[in-house]
Amino acid sequence: MKRVFSLIFTTFLALSAAAQVSVIPKPNKVEAEEGRFKFDNNTTLFSNEKSSSNLEYLKALLVPATGFSFNTTKEGPADNYIVLDLSEQYGIDPGKENGLPKEGYILDISAKGITIKAADGAGIFYGIQSLLQLMPAVVYSGRSSGHEDWSVAALRIEDSPRFGYRGMMLDVSRTFFDAATVKKYIDWMAYHKINKFHWHLTDDNGWRVEIKKYPLLTSKGAWRGPGEVLSAAFGSGKTRYGGFYTQEQIKDIVAYAAKRHIEIIPEIDLPGHSKAVTASYPNVACDGNDTGLSVQGVGQNVWCVGKEANFHMLENIIKEMVKLFPSKNFHIGGDEVNYTSWDNCPHCQALMKKEGMKEHDELLNYFVRRMEAILEKQGKDMSGWDEILEGGKLSPNSRVYAWRSVAKGIESVTKGQPTIMMPGEYCYFDMKQSKEERGHNWAGIVTLEKSYSLDPIGTAKLSSEQANLIVGVQGALWTELLGWPVRFIDYQTYPRLAAIAEVGWTKPELKEWGEFYNRVVSSHFERMFHMGIAFRVPPPVVKFEQGAVKAELPYPWAVVRYTSDESNPTVHSPVYRGEIITDKAHKFRFATFYRDELVSQVVKPENAEYKYLKPVTTIITSMAENPKFPVKNLVDYKFETYFRSEKKIVAGDYLTYLFDEPVKAKRVTIETGIPNISFYGITEGYAEYSYDGTNYIRGDDFVRGTVVIYPQKAVKAIRLVASDTNDGHILSLQDLRIEE
Ligand code: ACM
Ligand code: ZN
């Protein structure tokens, strides 16, 4: 009887150990075993690897958190050990039935000790990552935690990635992140078994890599603001904004990443997106008086293809850069070229004629092929955005990053190119994560679930050869909205990168959204917290129904706090315990708190009645309207429609809301910028208001595109005035929010 009981009991323990495996990305095979391994001050480390890098990495995490010394031994210990066992023998070779694929590992935990086996250093490293995730989350904290039970359940994991390329791209041009931040970002990627860092080093708004032969690229091209060659952007306003990495810093970061088994693929974005270059070295641009603008509203930002000297300059830049980046691949951009530059340039037109080209995308292909050749001379393969598929053929080695759609990725492999799937609608972390939240939305709302749902090979009818050309998947963070709030880089990246990590690593048949979400909220939040990531905490869904405000928690144990006076909830606000009957639902605000340190987006009850006044209003303005976003959008009191100017606004530009009848209002909120994005808002300007329509009282300056006015009596008019040239190449305005 006792035996039966203990058998049942140990089976239960083993099952619960399997259930506790909440590793992200999900391992491909887990078997629970009996017992636990307990770490203590006598636990020793042993590695047979030639390089001590993995061992040191593990030790650097374990020692501070546990307080144990983790001495290393010269021979494989018999008991109480962590062994890193690397042998090529464990790998797949043609004569063998079984073996570990590249980056694969076996993690064996028993009561006696822990062994990680792999056929390459990356495999050992990923075994370490899985082990860390099985440990108490404070292991990531880097400091003594007071945690006492340092033990892990016995199990065996046999694991390897689905794709060899699991990447993340970071734009450091629009927002500059210093070397320490980049290293932290790399650390976080490594915790998720991401193995490629695509470093978008240059764009219109800043060149960020030191090139000794062309010092102006960074002495001028890395800075924007008053008196600089680059104008202020994205709210940088009157401060000189920018920065760059020295070659020494780059080498240091590349080495740092390599220790974490992350390859850095540099990108210099060419031939478009190059305002930082053409502003520093004006001869690089086309001649002719082209007034066309790129998608982002930047003029004269394209390398001239007709000037042969440009290719010498590019070759010199590449020669310096390949010394910094050992990656076999080099990304040359190729996206969103403003062709009117070439269309109006005598040199480009002469080249087209000479080469017998008819279409301007053939010039793009000409440029791209020249870049392929320059890189090939340096022993590198070229990579580029999916536009490089246009205008002609590519070398079969050139890798295409499909960003515009899955279809572009399919087109790419159909043409025989190695391809990275990173369609914006799944992989662009500059997209907002819910309707009312900061972020772009041109590729849709990219929720965690949406990112998780990507299958890079998917349902397309691809031959196995074509499917094999899909070498991986990648997340991307473009950073024009990243200047604020603080740590928005963390918020936009996590947990969405955890989803992309699992897309890249885990077999599709093992993926299940609900189960993944459960792992994220029940284990990974706590890990990310100790990793030091200010990740996005999901807000509650709040509704106003039948006279009561009701919040649906994002997960059952979520701490949701609220206020009833329109202020943002704080850690001192009451915790939501159940529906609240009210006739002032519009005054409620809710947010989820994680450990009272991270706060979700603040949400208002859906369908609560907001009592904004809608006075009949005439608009008088100095600004020309974009016919697709006309002035009348400002007086329809539909908050989703808005106004766009045709052009950048400058000092003295104004827009007046003139009310037919003076309006009695407690408060008027003037929000500029695209609704919920605050992009193209007023960066240099103020509001004024008038009680008689003639004499104006000066209100506040716009801060982050917003001003609030508290009138003392009925207002006849409100006016927005630009005090200087604004950052955006256009201006967007929204309807006034007038409260009684
Ligand atoms: C891109 O988003 N322009 C690659
Ligand atoms: Zn030209």
Distance 210 CA to ligand 2 centre (A): 26
Q: Is any atom of ligand 1 closer than 6 Å to the C-beta of 31?
A: no
**Closest listed residue to residue 117, CA positions, set 154, 91, 145, 155:** 91
How far, in Å, is the centroid of ligand 2 from the Cα of 234?
29
Of 7, 136, 154, 166, the closest CA to residue 62 belongs to: 136
C-alpha distances in Å from residue 108, one per residue of 54, 117, 405, 510: 17, 8, 41, 21
Instruction: Give Cα separations from 239 to 171, 223, 231 (angstroms).
Output: 20, 10, 11
Burial class of residue 569, CB neighbours in 10 A (0-12, 13-18, 19+): buried
Query: Of the residues 173, 431, 478, which should be mutated to test ligand 1's pocket, given the most ligand atoms within 8 Å of the CB?
Result: 478
Instruction: Output the six-digit token pair for 483.
Output: 């200047």
pLDDT of 448-479, one tens digit each?
Answer: 999 999 999 987 789 999 999 999 999 999 99
Q: What pLDDT score does 428 carry? A: 98
Rounded CA gap, 272 and 270, in Å? 5
Give 310's Cβ-side CA count (13 Å radius): 22
Between 168 and 11, whose confidence is greater?
A: 168
The residue to mutate among 294, 335, 386, 421, having the most atoms of ligand 1 within 8 angstroms of its beta carbon, is 335
Q: Using CA positions, which residue lies closest to atom 2 of ligand 1? A: 403
Looking at the domain 2-159, which fold is it? Chitobiase; domain 2 (3.30.379)
pLDDT for 513 = 98
Q: At residue 5, does pLDDT exceed 70?
A: no
Question: Which ligand is nearest the CA of 405, by number?
Answer: 1
The pLDDT assigned to 6 comes to: 44
Q: pLDDT, tens digit, for every residue of 310-359?
A: 999 999 999 999 999 999 999 999 999 999 999 999 999 999 999 999 99
**Per CATH, which fold does 165-530 belong to?**
TIM Barrel (3.20.20)
Q: Is the pLDDT of residue 654 over 70?
A: yes
Contact 524, 132 (CB under 8 A): no
The C-alpha atoms of residue 148 and residue 574 are separated, in whole angstroms, by 32
Q: How confident is the model at residue 14 (pLDDT cuts 50, 70, 90)?
A: very low
Residue 651 vs residues 156, 623, 637, 648: alpha-carbon distances, Å: 67, 12, 28, 10
**140, pLDDT greater than 60:** yes
Q: Is the CB of 387 under 6 A from ligand 1?
A: no
Contact partners, residue 183, CB within 8 Å, separation at least 6: 253, 256
Alpha carbon of 202 to ligand 1 centroid (Å): 13
Would you call the peptide bond into 396 cis, given omega within 30 degrees of 0 as the criterion? no
Signed CA dihedral, 676, 678, 681, 687: sign only: positive
Q: Closest ligand 1 atom to the C-alpha of 401?
A: 4
**Is the CB–ligand 1 distance for residue 629 below 6 Å?**
no
* Mean pLDDT within 7-35: 72
Q: Among the atoms of ligand 1, which is closest to the Cα of residue 478?
A: 2
Q: Atom 1 in ligand 1: which residue has the minimum CA distance?
A: 335
Task: Encode pLDDT of 200-251 as tens digits.
Answer: 999 999 999 999 999 999 999 999 999 999 999 999 999 999 999 999 999 9
Could you give the dihedral angle defined by the CA atoms of residues 187, 534, 558 and 502, in that order, rounded to the nearest 10 degrees? Answer: -40
Mutate to test the pocket of ligand 1, among 403, 405, 479 (most ligand atoms within 8 A of CB): 403
Specify the pLDDT at position 95: 65
Atom of ligand 1 lying closest to residue 424 CA: 2
User: Which CATH number does the domain 617-739 belong to among 1.10.600.10, 2.60.120.260, 2.30.30.90, 3.30.70.890?
Assistant: 2.60.120.260
97 Cα–ligand 2 center, Å? 58
pLDDT at residue 334, rounded to an integer: 98
Task: Give residue 128 CA to ligand 2 midpoint distance, Å.
Answer: 52
**Whole-number percent of the chain with pLDDT over 70:** 97
CB of 336 shorter than 6 A to ligand 1: yes
- Locate the domains of the chain by residue range: 2-159, 165-530, 541-599, 617-739
| E-strand stretches of 174-284 | 196-200, 202-203, 206-207, 223-224, 241-242, 263-270
- Those residues whose C-beta lies under 8 Å from the C-beta of residue 96, and which sit 6 or more positions away, are none
pLDDT at 2 over 90: no
Q: Do domains 165-530 and 617-739 have the same CATH topology?
A: no
- Residue of the CA atom closest to atom 3 of ligand 1: 335
The pLDDT of residue 376 is above 70: yes
This prediction has a pTM of 0.95
Among 387, 430, 478, which residue's Cα sits nearest to residue 169? Answer: 478
Q: Is 401 in the pocket of ligand 1 (CB under 6 A)?
A: no
Residue whose CB lies within 8 A of the most ligand 1 atoms, among 170, 331, 385, for a mutation test: 385
| Mean pLDDT of the 134-159 span | 94
pLDDT for residue 417: 98
> Residue 171: CB within 6 Å of ligand 1?
no
**Which atom of ligand 1 has the smallest separation from the CA of 333?**
4
pLDDT-based confidence at 9, cuts 50/70/90?
very low
What's the rounded mean pLDDT across residues 539-553?
97
Residue 429 near ligand 1, beta carbon < 6 Å: no
Q: Please give the average per-residue pLDDT across 75-80, as a whole number.
A: 93
CB 385 less than 6 A from any atom of ligand 1: yes
Cβ contact 301:274 at 8 Å: yes
Average pLDDT estimate for 605-619? 91
pLDDT band at 20; cut points 50, 70, 90: low
Residues 150-201 have pLDDT tens digits of 999 999 999 999 999 999 999 999 999 999 999 999 999 999 999 999 999 9
pLDDT in tens, 81-128: 999 999 999 998 766 677 999 999 999 999 999 999 999 999 999 999
- The overall average pLDDT reported for the chain is 95
Tens-digit pLDDT profile for residues 684-726: 999 999 999 999 999 999 999 999 999 999 999 999 999 999 9
Residue 425: HSE in the Cβ half-sphere, 13 Å Cα cutoff: 10
Q: How far is the CA of 512 from the centre of ligand 2 (A)?
A: 51
For the stretch 288-310, pLDDT in tens is: 989 999 999 999 999 999 999 99
